[in-house]
Amino acid sequence: MNSKAKLLTFGIVTLALSSLTVSAVVAQAKLTNQSKLLINGIGQIRVGMTVSQAAKAAGTKLIGDSPNNSCYYVKPQNEPKNLLFMVTKGRISRVDVRHNTQITTLKGAKIGDTEAQIKSLYSGQIQVTPHKYVQGGHYLTFIPKDHANQNYRVVFETDGKRVTQFRSGKLPEVEFVEGCS
């Protein structure tokens, strides 16, 4: 085999491997029930993205309310269910997880966890306040110590015993009790 043939073979093999790598990365990027909720997003979606950037990052269409300038919600067209994205000023500002027991935070917190489990997972970083609408319920708010993340929170809503829903995002939107209302 001459040097041109070797170089061509090397190039074809490299290109084939690169294509496989890109396909694997794209497959991992798709938003699923295994995607982890972060303080500033979920999976590949980050607070601050436009809806079209978020849809591209999620690998799925985001559908929902008609866009307006103040506040509206979008959600994945198919899966995962019960996952909502708040959009303010044309950008994702918060992620809400409702009735989906499969999605967890990076530390493994999920709907159904006890208040004690949340306090243990985020030891010394949970602020407890009374729930506005659920008697005996609480908001367990994770407040990061890292200075770079001071404008973000994770808020777990409870019935007084267990997590009923949770959300993450930037201040002030993550703390809006009534969402866009």
Nearest alpha carbon to residue 50 among 67, 33, 31 = 67
Kind and range of the H or E run holding 98? strand 91-98
Compute the average pLDDT of residues 94-102: 97
Answer yes or no: are the C-beta atoms of 111 and 102 closer than 8 Å: no
Q: Where are the beta strands (DSSP E) in 89-162?
A: 91-98, 104-105, 126-130, 138-142, 152-158
pLDDT digits (tens, 9 = 90+) for 6-27: 544 444 444 444 444 444 444 4
pTM of the model: 0.83
Q: What percent of the chain has pLDDT over 90?
A: 80
Q: What are the phi and psi torsion angles at 168 (to 5°)?
A: -140, 165
Q: What is the structure's pLDDT at 1?
A: 61
Higher-pLDDT residue of 96 and 26 is 96
Whole-angstrom distance, CA of residue 44 vs CA of residue 121: 23
**pLDDT confidence of 2, banded at 50, 70, 90?**
low
User: Within 13 Å, how many C-alpha atoms sit on residue 91's CB side?
Assistant: 11
Q: What is the structure's pLDDT at 6?
A: 54
Q: Taking 90 as the threshold, does the pLDDT of residue 4 lie above it? A: no
Average pLDDT value for the chain:
88
pLDDT digits (tens, 9 = 90+) for 36-88: 999 999 999 999 999 999 999 999 999 997 777 689 999 999 999 999 999 99
Whole-angstrom distance, CA of residue 146 vs CA of residue 42: 19
What three-state secondary structure class fits 160?
Answer: coil
